[in-house]
Copies of this chain bind each other. A is one copy, B any other.
Amino acid sequence: MAAFKRLLIGRPLKSTELGEQKLNKRKALAILSSDALSSVAYGPEQILLVLITVSTAAFWYSIPIGIGVLFLLTALILSYRQIIFAYPQGGGAYVVSKNNLGVYPGLVAGGSLLVDYILTVAVSVSAGTDAITSAFPALHEYTVVIAVVFVLLLTLLNLRGVTESASVLAYPVYLFVLALLVLIGVGIYRVMTGEVSPELHTPVGTPIAGISLFLLLKAFASGSSALTGVEAISNAIPNFKSPAPNNAAKTLSAMGILLAVLFSGIVALAYFYGVSPLAEVTVVSQIAEETFSRNFMYYFVQGTTALILILAANTGYSAFPLLAVNLANDKFIPRMFTVRGDRLGYSNGIIILGLLSILLIIVFQGQTEQLIPLYAVGVFIPFTLSQTGMMVKWIREKPAGWVSKLAINTTGAVISLMVTLMFFITKFAQVWSVLIFLPIIIFLFHRIKKHYEAVGDQLRLATCEPAVPIEGNVMIVPVSGITHVVEQSLNYAQSLGAEQIIAVHIPFDREEEARFEEKWRSWKPDIRLVTLHSPYRSIIQPLGKFIDVVKRKADESNYQVTVVIPQFIPKKGWHNLLHNQSSLLIRAHLLYRKDIVLTTVPYHLKK
């Protein structure tokens, strides 16, 4: 078992080896930006899908809308740059909102992101799997199995630790960037040299009947889904090599520039080629086919796109555990999320994320595309909150140059809010559930916090009265027969010099009762035996009642009651199936129900 674990995730690492696990910029860009970069595979398409409801002539609007998205992207990147320096310990939307707007806005941001990372994994892996099964239709019926296997692989990679997974992930991300850059370069060259017919596109500015501001805003909101994932870097600052904030800021800028280039390139080529969105073929695929026809480069673009979609899920694996640690340190979620595993990753967060996304994939049978709007809303709510938080911070602190900083964050906040509202107005059918689950999650956060605080109060020594001294001990030994196991427990109780030792036997019929009492008298005449006849064949009920009686008497003279349970331990695990686990049942019942000490005296069998 231990050897198998080692094989899968590698040897355990010492706490002091943590520094070596940190990310340099090149690896960080790969590991933290796959989500954002992969969005260009579906973002531009989302814009066209809205515009086509009017006519293909309206496609020229994708150019101004694309510029709008670039504007939002710039605002977000600049804004997150400011957050990185303001919160070098990791400034996710949760931390920024909590510190500047208060606990509840912080929890709204944290709660949506927590759920969102699960959606990231499920949606990205499903999309990547779809890309593969589209290429190899024979695999289609195994979609769910394939997606689950990918999630398991990602979970394993992340359990092995952050740097090792980065090494594996770096190649596909950079190959994808390379593929798209070549595609855009060749495409633009073809447009410039006039190889592409200018009749394929309507000139920008052509008046179109039926276009409305509402529709344009809807197209803009849909296109903004290409920006999901830009927050990942600011959450993960503690994973960077020092100086962490500087490295993170540089990585963020690099990602912003790459994202801007790829996004504009795809939007532009789609416009010049006059690409219409189709059900079976993606926009990127159409552009690649138009540019290269079906040669090696076409398959290279398609292959790296599929890969990066699956790897985009990895952003969830980097961000979820870190956010969980922040929430757990503030006692809003279980403490187990703060524990580092053998390989220094936060294993519990990684495992839970994997399990929940597998659950989503199975429940939705791999058809998670319908979750994309939900997922986008889950990103833009925390965007809005963190930018608003930054606004409050600048107004409150007024550092040098705060006006321009405020302007940047205000722009970001307004656009993010607008995008969020657009989603609610134009796609309510797909995003209403956020209004149900967010309050539930926040309620849970609240309850968990209250519980931890109550426990802390009760355990703290200063706040409670001193413990009652123990004046003596009563030991109860349940005995099932006259055997070595029982003898050992009785010897043990006697060796502790307890003031009173009571052996308890629970027969199911009267005959057995008499027989046992007689045997006992000749075996251990000096130890008091109590027999409790049990007509309903239950051991726990009569024993529990008897303990209550003893306990009441013992309490009067401050005596402590201990139940000493004889238990024999078979040599092999499967042997346990062959024995009535009465002692375990008794123990579990008494531990949670009665205020008594429980002692197990094991008797290890030798064969």
Query: Which A residues are within 8 Å of any B CB, using their own CB?
Result: 12-16, 334-336, 339-340, 342, 448, 451-452, 454-455, 458-461, 464, 467, 469-473, 481-485, 487-488, 491-492, 494-498, 508-509, 535-538, 560, 562, 567-570, 573, 575, 577-580, 591-592, 595-602, 604-607
Contact of A597 among B13, B573, B599 (CB under 8 A): B599
Contact of A464 among B464, B484, B600 (CB under 8 A): B484
Q: A339-B537, A451-B570, A492-B597 are in contact. List 9 more A-B contacts (CB 8 A).
A: A12-B536, A15-B508, A15-B535, A464-B484, A470-B494, A562-B599, A573-B592, A596-B602, A597-B600
Question: Do B460 and A487 touch (CB < 8 A)?
Answer: no
Question: Do B459 and A568 touch (CB < 8 A)?
Answer: yes
Question: Do A485 and B473 touch (CB < 8 A)?
Answer: no
Chain B residues within 8 Å of A485, by CB: 459
Show 18 A/B contacts (Cβ-Cβ < 8 Å), sorted by A.
Answer: A12-B536, A15-B509, A454-B607, A455-B579, A458-B605, A461-B482, A461-B487, A467-B488, A467-B491, A471-B495, A492-B597, A495-B560, A496-B496, A496-B498, A569-B592, A591-B602, A597-B601, A598-B599
Contact of A14 among B340, B454, B536, B598 (CB under 8 A): B536
Question: Do A335 and B484 touch (CB < 8 A)?
Answer: no
Chain B residues within 8 Å of A591, by CB: 567, 569, 600, 602
Minimum CB distance partner of A595 in chain B: B604
Question: Do B497 and A484 touch (CB < 8 A)?
Answer: no
Give chain B nearest CB distance to A526 CB in angstroms. 15
Chain B residues within 8 Å of A455, by CB: 568, 570, 579, 605
Chain B residues within 8 Å of A568, by CB: 455, 459
Q: How far is the CA of A601 from the CA of B467 in the complex (A)?
A: 14
Contact of A578 among B14, B335, B535, B598 (CB under 8 A): B335
Chain B residues within 8 Å of A454, by CB: 605, 607
Question: Do A600 and B602 touch (CB < 8 A)?
Answer: no
Question: Do B580 and A339 touch (CB < 8 A)?
Answer: yes
Those 3 A-B pairs whose CB atoms lie nearest each other, nearest first: A470-B495, A459-B483, A599-B599
Chain B residues within 8 Å of A508, by CB: 15
Contact of A336 among B484, B488, B580, B602 (CB under 8 A): B580
Q: How far is the CA of A592 from the CA of B574 in the complex (A)?
A: 13
Minimum CB distance partner of A448 in chain B: B578
Chain B residues within 8 Å of A495, by CB: 470-473, 560
Chain B residues within 8 Å of A577, by CB: 334
Question: Do B598 and A535 touch (CB < 8 A)?
Answer: no
Minimum CB distance partner of A565 in chain B: B598
Q: How far is the CA of A448 from the CA of B335 in the complex (A)?
A: 43
Chain B residues within 8 Å of A600, by CB: 591, 597-599
Chain B residues within 8 Å of A491, by CB: 467, 469-470
Q: How far is the CA of A396 from the CA of B295 in the complex (A)?
A: 88
Q: How far is the CA of A484 from the CA of B598 in the complex (A)?
A: 18
Chain B residues within 8 Å of A452, by CB: 578
Chain B residues within 8 Å of A467, by CB: 484, 487-488, 491
Minimum CB distance partner of A459 in chain B: B483
Q: A536-B342, A537-B339 are in contact. Are A458 and B578 (CB under 8 A)?
A: no
Minimum CB distance partner of A490 in chain B: B467
Minimum CB distance partner of A12 in chain B: B536
Chain B residues within 8 Å of A567, by CB: 591
Q: A469-B491, A492-B560 are in contact. Are A602 and B597 (CB under 8 A)?
A: yes
Question: Do B496 and A484 touch (CB < 8 A)?
Answer: no
Instruction: Specify which of A495, A604, A607 lies most central, judged by the most chain B CB atoms within 10 Å of its CB.
Output: A495
Chain B residues within 8 Å of A601, by CB: 597
Minimum CB distance partner of A597 in chain B: B601
Chain B residues within 8 Å of A604, by CB: 595
Q: How far is the CA of A562 from the CA of B489 in the complex (A)?
A: 12
Q: How far is the CA of A591 from the CA of B575 in the complex (A)?
A: 15
Give chain B nearest CB distance to A189 CB in angstroms. 56
Question: Do B482 and A496 touch (CB < 8 A)?
Answer: no
Instruction: Specify which of A448, A497, A537, A567 lies most central, judged by the most chain B CB atoms within 10 Å of its CB.
Output: A537
Chain B residues within 8 Å of A484, by CB: 458-461, 464, 467
Chain B residues within 8 Å of A336, by CB: 580
Give chain B nearest CB distance to A115 CB in angstroms. 18
Minimum CB distance partner of A328 in chain B: B578
Q: How far is the CA of A605 from the CA of B488 in the complex (A)?
A: 33
Chain B residues within 8 Å of A579, by CB: 334-335, 455
Chain B residues within 8 Å of A535, by CB: 14-16
Give chain B nearest CB distance to A338 CB in angstroms. 9
Chain B residues within 8 Å of A464, by CB: 484
Q: How far is the CA of A335 from the CA of B569 in the complex (A)?
A: 16
Chain B residues within 8 Å of A12, by CB: 536, 538
Q: How far is the CA of A12 from the CA of B221 in the complex (A)?
A: 63
Q: How far is the CA of A599 from the CA of B563 in the complex (A)?
A: 9
Chain B residues within 8 Å of A487, by CB: 461, 467
Contact of A483 among B460, B469, B598, B605 (CB under 8 A): B460
Chain B residues within 8 Å of A13, by CB: 536
Give chain B nearest CB distance to A441 CB in angstroms. 15
Give chain B nearest CB distance to A174 CB in angstroms. 34
Minimum CB distance partner of A487 in chain B: B467
Q: A460-B483, A591-B569, A602-B595 are in contact. Are A537 and B469 (CB under 8 A)?
A: no
